[in-house]
């Protein structure tokens, strides 16, 4: 095993990253990033602010160039590195990012006649054109198949697989009719690398299918044709062209083709793991296992847990999804999240620019905020500037700041916003535990966990738990490389591979008892606001206020 490497391929919103990892200890020996060349930073936009697409040609070119560059760097930097020491590949992507394909599994966007039609491209995770269809699917499932909703937090999202396909059917019927079927980006990339794109051969990952397409072995896979047909007969017909069975990342999607071996310099025939979403492989790369909550903190957060399938897991209200095998084989994968974390701090710094660009940087605001004690500002905020994903599952909630006087400073507000996201994080931990998922340790990863010690310390103080930080700054690509190692049989299973290949930074952020005590009081007040504005049950008639403001706003904006 010494001298063996795997590659993790991480397809993000703006770029693709190829990471070469030493299988023995998980250290990264080389990596390369290629920025997508279509659209704006890789995202095709339009006059409709809800539209966000990617051109699949970027996946093809980006794979070749990033892998070649990473391999070239490894050969330069790593003594004795040889191309045939790379024994496997894993893939993670954004999602749900489905793309329409033809009978051969070729993306419709590769057809010259459709190359500029955004409906024929990949519908990027953050495309929000399909709000009406999401509401329709939710309503229909509530009526006909409530069990479908129970596993995805009670609401089917506009970001998800069938919402987007149904929207295409309604608004771009020619593209829909030209498509033989639809494939998640996470499934299409491994198929491309292994020559298994044909719709009757492609290996579909249970991560995407389970979290975004209501796939569940308990009811025979994807939603049944009758249900889909009730939404639209053509959607019902599509059901027969979806795969009957989805797989975990333990399985290889296939083996690297001669063509891709030639294009990259890798050895042909090495296994490529079934694809999964970035957050899920990020959890793998952070060493997830039962009892560990992995928080992937970026513009938003994903909060991931697993539970052995041998133990029954309750349907946790407000969770984004509970899917057998979506993170680790033989484990339920549970996904929660906060709709905005870094995005809230970025809003404050970039949109409000308090104190101007110089005084209002993240660094100077953090420095000012770090001087404050919990409760010293008298401020309290809700972290809902982009809605609330868990536990309220309500995109039409908005931000709130309370307690400002005539002397309130930007640093005080910045700290209150950090604290608000920490209170949101605690609410998720509490929800997991209320439903029997004991959180024994919390591992953080992502840019904010890496770069902002104040945020980590506040999270420790608010939650009363030590905050651990994942060793790798590229946990998603590392998790993909771990999957590459498992399918290459370098390790017998994921726990063994994770133990060898993942780790933590030495620094642990520990809660200080005095701060934790203060935050307990503040959290009780946060929950009062949370329940008053976020739940129907709470008396006081404030539940509707944020929504009515949005209704008025939408009416005024036309």
Contact residues toward its own copies (CB under 8 A) are 340, 343-344, 346-347, 351-360, 373-380, 385-386, 398-410, 413, 518, 521-522, 525, 528-529, 532, 538-542, 545-546, 548-550, 552-553, 555-557
* Spatial distance between the Cα atoms of 418 and 420, rounded to a whole number of angstroms: 5
Q: What is residue 390's DSSP assignment?
A: S
Query: Within its chain, how far is the Cα of 30 from the centroid?
Result: 24
* Spatial distance between the Cα atoms of 216 and 232, rounded to a whole number of angstroms: 21
Q: Please state the closest distance from residue 365 (CB atom) to its own copies, in A.
A: 12
Nearer to its own copies, 403 or 464 (CB): 403
- Angle of helix 161-171 versus helix 131-144 axis, rounded to 10: 120
Q: Please state the closest distance from residue 259 (CB atom) to its own copies, in A.
A: 43
Nearer to its own copies, 340 or 482 (CB): 340
**Which among 431, 401, 395, 397 is positioned nearest to 419, based on CA atoms?**
401
Q: Please state the closest distance from residue 53 (CB atom) to its own copies, in A.
A: 21
**Which among 199, 9, 3, 244 is positioned nearest to 105, based on CA atoms?**
199
The pair of structure tokens assigned to 407 is 């002397």
Alpha-carbon dihedral of residues 361, 366, 371, 374, nearest 10 degrees?
A: 130
Nearer to its own copies, 312 or 356 (CB): 356
Contacts of 159 (CB under 8 A, 6+ apart): 96, 125, 126, 127, 128, 212
Contacts of 180 (CB under 8 A, 6+ apart): 101, 102, 103, 199, 241
Nearer to its own copies, 261 or 545 (CB): 545
Q: Please state the closest distance from residue 232 (CB atom) to its own copies, in A.
A: 32
Nearer to its own copies, 76 or 358 (CB): 358
Q: Please state the closest distance from residue 550 (CB atom) to its own copies, in A.
A: 6
**Which among 243, 227, 222 is positioned nearest to 146, based on CA atoms?**
227
Strand pairing of 5-11 and 86-93? Answer: parallel
Nearer to its own copies, 149 or 532 (CB): 532
Query: Within its chain, how far is the Cα of 111 from the centroid?
Result: 30
Which segments within 203-319 are labelled E, that is strand? 204-205, 246-247, 252-255, 271-273, 276-277, 292-297, 301-308
Nearer to its own copies, 157 or 498 (CB): 157
Nearer to its own copies, 15 or 408 (CB): 408
What are the angstrom distances between the C-alpha of 399 and each of 34, 126, 139, 509? 35, 20, 27, 28
Contacts of 56 (CB under 8 A, 6+ apart): 99, 107, 109, 110, 121, 122, 185, 188
CA 227, 229, 234, 236 torsion: positive or negative?
A: positive
Nearer to its own copies, 132 or 359 (CB): 359
Q: Please state the closest distance from residue 54 (CB atom) to its own copies, in A.
A: 21
Nearer to its own copies, 179 or 341 (CB): 341
Q: Please state the closest distance from residue 340 (CB atom) to its own copies, in A.
A: 6
β-sheet bridge partners, residue 31: 19
Q: Please state the closest distance from residue 530 (CB atom) to its own copies, in A.
A: 11
* Spatial distance between the Cα atoms of 7 and 1, rounded to a whole number of angstroms: 15
Q: Please state the closest distance from residue 544 (CB atom) to its own copies, in A.
A: 8
Q: Please state the closest distance from residue 537 (CB atom) to its own copies, in A.
A: 11
Nearer to its own copies, 356 or 492 (CB): 356
* Spatial distance between the Cα atoms of 344 and 149, rounded to a whole number of angstroms: 29
Q: Please state the closest distance from residue 245 (CB atom) to its own copies, in A.
A: 39
């Amino acid at each position: 095993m010494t001298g063996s490497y795997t590659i993790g391929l991480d397809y993000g919103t703006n770029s693709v990253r190829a990471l070469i990892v030493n299988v023995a200890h998980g250290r990264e020996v080389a990596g390369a990033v290629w920025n997508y060349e279509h659209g704006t930073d890789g995202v095709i936009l339009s006059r409709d602010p809800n539209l966000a697409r990617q051109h699949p040609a970027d996946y093809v070119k980006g794979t070749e160039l990033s892998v070649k560059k990473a391999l070239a760097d490894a050969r330069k930097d790593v003594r004795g590195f040889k191309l045939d020491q790379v024994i496997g590949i894993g893939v993670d992507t954004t999602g749900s990012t489905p793309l329409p394909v033809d009978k051969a599994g070729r993306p419709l966007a590769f057809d010259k006649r459709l190359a500029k039609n955004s409906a024929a491209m990949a519908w990027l995770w953050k495309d929000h054109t399909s709000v009406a269809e999401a509401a329709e699917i939710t309503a229909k499932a509530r009526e006909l198949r409530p069990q479908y909703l129970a596993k995805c937090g009670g609401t089917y999202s506009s970001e998800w697989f069938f919402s987007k396909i149904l929207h295409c059917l309604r608004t771009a019927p020619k593209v829909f009719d030209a498509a033989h079927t639809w494939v998640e980006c996470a499934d299409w990339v491994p198929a491309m690398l292994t020559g298994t794109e044909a719709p009757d051969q492609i290996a579909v990952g249970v991560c995407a299918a389970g979290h975004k397409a209501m796939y569940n072995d308990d009811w025979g896979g994807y939603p049944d044709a009758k249900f889909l047909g009730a939404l639209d007969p053509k959607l019902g017909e599509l059901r027969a062209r979806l795969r009957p069975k989805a797989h975990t990342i333990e399985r290889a999607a296939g083996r690297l083709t001669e063509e891709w071996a030639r294009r990259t310099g890798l050895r042909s025939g090495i296994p490529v793991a079934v694809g999964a979403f970035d957050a899920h492989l990020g959890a793998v790369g952070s060493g997830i296992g039962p009892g560990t909550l992995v928080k992937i903190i970026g513009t938003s957060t994903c909060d991931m847990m697993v539970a052995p399938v041998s133990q029954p897991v309750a349907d946790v209200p407000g969770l984004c999804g509970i899917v057998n095998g979506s993170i680790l084989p033989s484990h339920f994968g549970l996904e929660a999240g906060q709709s905005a974390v870094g995005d809230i701090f970025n809003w404050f710094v970039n949109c409000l620019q308090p104190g101007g660009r110089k005084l209002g940087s993240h660094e100077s605001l953090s420095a000012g905020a770090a001087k404050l004690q919990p409760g010293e500002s008298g401020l309290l905020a809700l972290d809902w500037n982009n809605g609330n994903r868990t536990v309220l599952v309500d995109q039409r909630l908005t931000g709130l700041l309370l307690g400002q006087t005539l002397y309130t400073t930007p640093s005080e507000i910045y700290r209150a916003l950090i604290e608000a996201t920490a209170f949101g994080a605690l609410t998720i931990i509490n929800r997991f535990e209320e439903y029997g998922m004991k959180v024994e340790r919390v591992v953080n990863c992502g840019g904010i966990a890496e770069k902002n010690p104040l945020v980590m310390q506040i999270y420790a103080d608010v939650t009363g738990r030590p905050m651990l930080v994942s060793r790798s700054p590229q946990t998603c690509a590392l998790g993909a490389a771990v999957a590459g190692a498992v399918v290459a049989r370098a390790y017998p299973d994921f726990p063994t591979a994770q133990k060898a290949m993942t780790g933590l930074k030495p620094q642990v952020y520990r809660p200080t008892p005095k701060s934790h005590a203060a935050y307990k009081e503040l959290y009780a007040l946060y929950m009062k606001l949370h329940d008053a504005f976020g739940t129907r049950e709470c008396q006081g008639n404030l539940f509707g206020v944020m929504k009515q403001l949005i209704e008025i706003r939408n009416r005024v904006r036309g």
